[in-house]
Amino acid sequence: MRTTAALWVLLGLGCDVSGDAEGPGGRRPRWDTADPAGDTSDTYDTYDTSDTSGDSGADTAVDGLACGDGRVGGPHEECDGSDDSACAGRCATTCQCPSAEASGVLQVDMIDVWQGDGLLITSPAGFTMLVDAGDESAYPGVRRWLLDHAPGGVDYTLVSHQHADHMGAMDRVLQDHPEVGLAWDGGGVATSDSYDDYVLAAGNRRTTIVAGQTLDLGPDLLVEVLHSDVGSTENENYNSVVIKLTYGSVRTLMGGDCETEGCERYFDAGGVDIYKVHHHGSSDSSGGRILVDMQPRLALISAGEGNDYGHPDKVTLDTLDQVGADVWRTDEDGSVRVAIDGATWLVEAEKR
């Protein structure tokens, strides 16, 4: 049995995992304990997901690349790529200084924005990326979360698609965070106030990303754009940007409101360990072969408590149960934090 205490100390959580310590929301933080043989006893054993072939995929993405060689990233005045620059060895290929200290841990925060999406990603190298920000009313909560969990600033933003419950507060984020290097989205034009406000706030930082690109959040983390096909359909949900993060042997997928038909038509996610469930867990979010192909072991659902849409749908929850996924949801658990060390992960909730 391997101890998890080292990572708790690394994260600064100050929790004794040998006992019955509880997380901020009253739920016991726990490492994934899924056993392929079916043993899901609630222990603090870690589950090793390492690739026996030794190929994590992430090293390939950054091997041999030099700072400023054209990967998708942004410039930063303090990092010029030289050996004596302010963040030498940490600017990877973007020349963008990370706003947080390198920890060797990939952190994925699903922020409780009620009926919407908002995720803060902190890479092992210390880069921060906010993926969606909920609607306009969610901004106070998003602002508090960023102050608490990204005090050094936000390096990048990404808007999955042009619906207000995903992009409505992003203009405020960009206004309050001039340090954002690039504001990524799938491109396209919408006729809405939230879109107009976002475009104005993003200014020349707005950058269109397309399927096949990789986003640079530092070495060792591979961030692939699996889908970003704006204009391929009038259904804006189908246009959602879908990204896959690979750190060590742990694969994480997130894709806004991409629905079953759109997901099956446009990309193949392959195996996934952690799945940020599309479209708030609606009935059309994870049907068909999607979950069967992915076989996620951890599912994250962002939905508003008592929302009028019935999210998450019972069909989706039943399917997740059938594939053995451990489900965490904002309507019940509040904001959810996942810490990934490249082979295992730790989950905790922070109820508002």
The structure's pTM equals: 0.76
* 73 located within any domain: no
Q: What is the DSSP string of 278-302?
A: GGGG-TTSSTTTHHHHH--SEEEE-
Q: Which parts of the chain sit beneath pLDDT 70?
A: 1-95, 229-238, 257, 260-267, 269, 280, 282-283, 285-288, 352
Helix (H, G, I), strand (E, B) or coil at 234: coil
Q: Closest by alpha carbon to 209, among 187, 226, 236, 188?
A: 187
* 45 located within any domain: no
H-type alpha helices, the chain: 5-11, 58-62, 139-149, 164-167, 170-176, 193-202, 260-266, 290-294, 314-322, 330-333
Please report the pLDDT score of residue 287 as a whole number.
Answer: 64
What percent of the chain has pLDDT above 90?
46
* 197 located within any domain: yes
Q: Which residue has the tokens 């694969």?
A: 251
* 233 located within any domain: yes
* 75 located within any domain: no
Strands across the sheet with 335-340, in order? 30-31, 345-350, 335-340, 106-110, 118-122, 128-133, 156-159, 182-185, 206-208
Amino acid found at 181: G
CA distance 342 to 344: 6
* 101 located within any domain: yes
DSSP 239: G
Please report the pLDDT score of residue 40 as a whole number.
Answer: 33
Q: Which residue has the tokens 């919408």?
A: 190
Please report the pLDDT score of residue 235 as a whole number.
Answer: 65
Domains contained in the chain, number: 1
DSSP 72: B
* 178 located within any domain: yes
* 15 located within any domain: no
Please report the pLDDT score of residue 4 as a whole number.
Answer: 31
Give the CATH number of the domain where residue 153 resides: 3.60.15.10
Structural domain boundaries enclosing 264:
59-65+96-350
